[in-house]
Amino acid sequence: MFYREAGDYKTSYTDDGQTFPIKFDRYRYYFVLFVAFALIPFMLNDYWVNAIFMPFLIYSIAAIGLNILVGYCGQVSLGTGGFMAVGAYACYKFMTGIDIWLGGVQYALPPINIFLSVILAGGVTAIVGVLFGLPSLRIKGFYLAVATLAAQFFLVWLFNKWEWAYNYSASGQINAPERFVFGVPVTGPNTEAWATYLFCLVFVTIVAVLARNLTRGASGRKWMAIRDMDIAAEIIGVNPLKAKLTAFAVSSFFIGIAGALFFSVYLGAVEVGEAFGINKSFLVLFMVIIGGLGSIFGSFAGAAFLVLLPVLLKNVLVGGLGWPTDLAAHLEFLIVGALIIAFLIAEPHGLAQLWRVAKEKLRLWPFPH
Partner 1 sequence: MNDMSADGYVTEDGRKIGGTLMEMKNITLRFGGVKAITDISFDIREGEIRAIIGPNGAGKSSMLNVISGFYVPQEGEVWYKGARRPQMKPYEVAQQGIARTFQNIALFEGMTVLDNVMTGRLNKMKTGLLSQAIWKGKAEREEVENREKVEKIIDFLEIQAIRKTPVARLPYGLKKRVELARALAAEPSILLLDEPMAGMNVEEKEDMSRFILDVNDEFGTTICLIEHDMGVVMDLSDRVVVMDYGKKIGDGTPDEVRSNQAVIDAYLGVSHD
Q: Which residues bind partner 1 (CB under 8 A)?
A: 12-14, 17, 210, 213-214, 217-219, 221-222, 224-225, 227-229, 231-240, 246, 250, 294
Select 323 or 363, whichever has its Cβ closest to partner 1: 363
DSSP H or E stretch at residue 354: helix 350-364
Q: From CA 212, how far away is CA 205, in angstroms rounded?
A: 11
Select 238 or 275, whichever has its Cβ closest to partner 1: 238
Cβ atoms < 10 Å from Cβ of 14: 8
- In the complex, minimum distance from the CB of residue 237 to partner 1, in angstroms, rounded to a whole number: 3
Select 29 or 47, whichever has its Cβ closest to partner 1: 29
Residue 315 carries which side chain, given as an amino acid letter? N
Select 149 or 354, whichever has its Cβ closest to partner 1: 354
Which residues touch 359 (CB under 8 Å, ≥6 apart)?
Answer: 3
Residue 305 carries which side chain, given as an amino acid letter? F
Q: From CA 369, how far away is CA 365, in angstroms rounded?
A: 9
- From first CA to last CA, the distance across the chain in angstroms is 14
DSSP H or E stretch at residue 127: helix 114-133
Select 100 or 229, whichever has its Cβ closest to partner 1: 229
**Per DSSP, what are the bridge partners of residue 175?**
269
Q: From CA 18, how far away is CA 26, in angstroms rounded?
A: 10
Select 14 or 171, whichever has its Cβ closest to partner 1: 14
Select 200 or 233, whichever has its Cβ closest to partner 1: 233
- In the complex, minimum distance from the CB of residue 116 to partner 1, in angstroms, rounded to a whole number: 17
Q: Which of 346, 332, 344, 211 is nearest to 287 (CA)?
A: 344
For 87, 163, 360, the CA distances from 259, given in Å and listed in that order, are 5, 19, 36
- In the complex, minimum distance from the CB of residue 210 to partner 1, in angstroms, rounded to a whole number: 4
* 133 and 145 Cβ atoms separated by less than 8 Å: no
Q: From CA 349, how far away is CA 359, in angstroms rounded?
A: 15
